[in-house]
Amino acid sequence: MTTPNARRFEKHNALVTGGGSGIGQAIALRLASEGAAITILELRPEAGEETARLIRESGGQASVTAADVSQTDSVRAAFSALERLDILVNNAGIAHVGNVLSTTPEDLDRLYAVNVRGVYHCLHFGVEKMLATGGGVILNMASIASKVGIADRFAYSMTKGAVLTMTLSVARDFVEKKIRCNCICPARVHTPFVDGFLAKTYPGREEEMFAKLAAGQPIGRMGTPEEVASLAAFLCSDEAAFVTGSAYDLDGGFTLLR
């Protein structure tokens, strides 16, 4: 992992959605290690508290706000409680496996509610908060599925495509208001979700299928949450002050196969 750049987020308040595990947790830990005061927005507050505990034990500042990103009033209340917002990381999201035939209307609505409406809610209230204090930085978690066709990811790809285009729209509309907005498009990253998916879908074959999934990236392995967090920290920092409206592939060469 890249060595943290001292205290480049000192006096910055950052909110990370879905910061209780996986990529969201890694980003929260990384930003906190460089001085940011972290608010973890989590549907499962107990998971958020574990991340907050790790941050506090390392001398950082962290709090947890329980909220459902799919619910307007829940997100409104969470953002209203913030004194200031300098960095917003829209990480919360859910996955689904299926093509257009096997994806039910209920599946589509469930994915849309969290991955699209949830990001919209945080952008809607987050941009308003940033405008009140002179600007800020937004980072959305998209996916390579927003750029290339991946088998059996119909609904998921649809939602991540929306995240990509919301990123471009916010970047364009608020570039003159000192708000930068970018997104990261990861390929397969080894998170607890991957382990849970393998245990549920391929019981007894987890190791075999893990190796197969890892081999899907030309680099020969999955990414790590910490690698995503390293790029996230750069994009949220002043070192990326000239970067907005960009979608960064973090894919181990996956798009080389397309």
Residue 80 CA to residue 98 CA, distance in Å, equals: 37
Query: How confident is the model at residue 113, as a pLDDT?
Result: 98
Per the residue annotation, which of 112, 120, 156, 248 is the catalytic one? 156
Instruction: Please tell me which of 94-98, 179-183, 190-194 the model is most confident about, judged by mean pLDDT.
Output: 179-183
| Numbered ranges of CATH 3.40.50.720 in the chain | 13-187+224-249
Report angle CA 122, 123, 127 to the nearest 5 degrees.
115
pLDDT at 219 over 80: yes
Residue 162 CA to residue 8 CA, distance in Å, equals: 31
Query: How confident is the model at residue 2, as a pLDDT?
Result: 45
Cβ 23 vs Cβ 250: under 8 Å: no
156 is catalytic: yes
Query: How confident is the model at residue 9, as a pLDDT?
Result: 98
Residue 200: band (very low, low, confident or very high) from pLDDT cuts 50, 70, 90: confident
Mean model confidence pLDDT for the chain: 95
Threshold 0.85, pTM exceeds:
yes
Model confidence pLDDT, tens digit, residues 61-80: 999 999 999 999 999 999 99
Residue 213: band (very low, low, confident or very high) from pLDDT cuts 50, 70, 90: confident
Residue 5: band (very low, low, confident or very high) from pLDDT cuts 50, 70, 90: low
Class for domain 13-187+224-249, per CATH? Answer: alpha beta
As a whole number, mean pLDDT of residues 212-217 equals: 86
The partner residues of 247 in beta bridges, in order of sequence, read 183
Query: How confident is the model at residue 142, as a pLDDT?
Result: 98
Task: Give the torsion sign (CA, 104, 107, 113, 118).
Answer: negative
As a whole number, mean pLDDT of residues 159-178 equals: 98
Model confidence pLDDT, tens digit, residues 27-59: 999 999 999 999 999 999 999 999 999 999 999
pLDDT at 17 over 90: yes
Cβ 180 vs Cβ 138: under 8 Å: yes
> CA distances (Å), 36 to each of 2, 63, 143, 213, in order?
17, 12, 25, 34
The percent of residues in the chain predicted with pLDDT above 90, rounded, is: 87
Query: How confident is the model at residue 1, as a pLDDT?
Result: 41
